[in-house]
Chain A
Amino acid sequence: MLTQYATIGILFLGAIAFGSIAMILSRLLQPHRPYSQKMETYECGMVTRGTAWVQFKNSYFLYAMVFLIFDIETIFLYPWAVKFQSLGLFAIIEMFIFLTILIIGFWYAWKEGALEWQ
């Protein structure tokens, strides 16, 4: 069991190594002639104005919040789904209560306009 997760670790390092080797190889083959116009941030070919590191639209954040709730719910639902067939009627009713509470929350978020694009 532990060796399986060690394998995942090796794959993780291997994937990074793959990218690094590709980039080093490319660095050895490519030309390198920077000048100031080339190094400028692209903006329709006009002179770049200001920075992009600004405070940005918060409706993205609302979606992230709703996502978080649902994502945690799935963590509960997956083990339930696996053992569902052996747990019988109790599990099905229990989970439907859980889901109903969640759907009420979802309905509330919908009603309050968290799912509207502004």
Chain B
Amino acid sequence: MEFLNNIFVNIAQWIRELLAALGFSPVWVEMGMAVVYLVAILGVCVLVALFYVLWERKLAGYIQRRPGPNRLGPNGWLQTIADAMKLLTKEDVVPQGADRIVHLLAALFIFVPTVLALAVIPFGEGMAALDLNLGIFYLIAVTSLSTIPIFMAGWSSNNKYSLVGSMRAVAQMVSYEIPLVFSLLGVILIAGTMKLQGVVEAQSSVWFIVLQPVAFVIFLICAIAETNRAPFDLPEGESELTAGVYTEYSGMRWALFYLAEYCNMFVMSSVAATMFLGGWHGPLLPGWLWFLLKTFLIMSCFIWFRWTFPRIRVDHLMNFSWKVLVPLSLANVFVTGIGVYIYNNGLGWW
């Protein structure tokens, strides 16, 4: 049990000692570890995408009372691998009118925010690649960067659908970031730290979903909007914008966008699990397994929402963020602040 719980920490420690034993100076050992973390994070990204793409199709199938992909491998579980092989051998078409350099750079940069965000996520006790003391702040800064590649993609394609899609994507992601940031503020008020490990440790007795239910709901809604998923998938609304931002992307470039979308969903659900659902805390099973189960639960919620809610209108979308979620999350910060103060000091000053 103890062995299973610490298995990844021990592997990292073992590699670190190996590098030190090979005679590298401490700085180079750190750099070597960074490469190890990079490989681990990329591995997580690929596995997450392979699993959740299939899980989404399966779950969508069950929701619509059909079996979903079930031909390739046992019960269809090899379908995504076959899809990945197909995408790898597809022709990469760049339209004549496009800005070729920006078009290429957008596909390269789309993956950067995801990898940087995963670096601070604690998958288990001591299992974060970096435990920055600005953890949550860094996370918010990095995840909001994903607006830029999407806008680059939309503008460089020189396609009207892409332009409209990217404009909507930027407006939507920017609008929903405010309530998202404010909803996390309530958690920080209670935890008193921005370290993600510290936030999880503060939840050892009670999960923050109990103390901050409103913030959790706001966070979940904003997370869906930030990742451009239905019912907030206006940037790529198939029925009006073909594929929105991704209209002019094909082959591997499109695959990278797709991969990043699923990994972003995973990042958002792991932040929710860390901040509200107690991270790695849980009985019997190893911590990292608990963490993965909690993210799986939230990911399944995302998929469930996608296949049951209709797409909402663009003015409703903006109004909902600015006129409902922003005031609500501000009120949540107010109430939490007063509540924490009263809890710590009693009503003596009244």
Report which A residues bind B (CB closer than 8 A).
Answer: 3-4, 6-8, 10-12, 14-16, 18-20, 22-23, 25-27, 29-34, 36, 38-43, 48, 51-54, 56-57, 60, 63-64, 66-67, 70-71, 74, 77-78, 81-86, 88-89, 92, 95-96, 99, 103, 106, 110, 115, 117
Contact = CB atoms under 8 A, between A and B. Distances in A.
B181 interface: yes
B349 interface: yes
B319 to A, nearest CB: 7
Q: What is the interface of chain A mostly: helix, strand, loop, or mixed? A: helix
Contacts of B112: 12, 15-16
Interface of B: 27, 30-31, 33-35, 37-38, 41-42, 87-98, 107-112, 114-116, 119, 129-130, 132, 136-137, 140, 155, 157-163, 167, 170-171, 174-175, 177-178, 181-182, 185, 188-189, 192-194, 242, 247-248, 251-253, 255-256, 314-315, 318-319, 322-323, 326, 330, 333-334, 337-338, 340-341, 344-345, 349
A88 B337 CA distance: 11
A23 B107 contact: yes
Contacts of B35: 10, 14
Contacts of B322: 63, 66, 110, 115
A14 B38 contact: yes
A6 B34 contact: yes
A97 B256 CA distance: 46
A70 B327 CA distance: 12
Contacts of B157: 41, 52
B253 A23 contact: yes
A11 B194 contact: no
B337 to A, nearest CB: 6
Contact of B177 (A19, A26, A67, A89): A67
B161 A26 contact: no
Given A22-B255, A52-B159, A99-B334, A10 B178 contact: no
Among all A-B residue pairs, the 9 with the closest Cβ atoms:
A117-B315, A26-B252, A15-B115, A14-B38, A10-B34, A7-B34, A81-B188, A19-B108, A3-B30
- Best-buried of B119, B252, B349 by chain A (most CB within 10 Å): B252
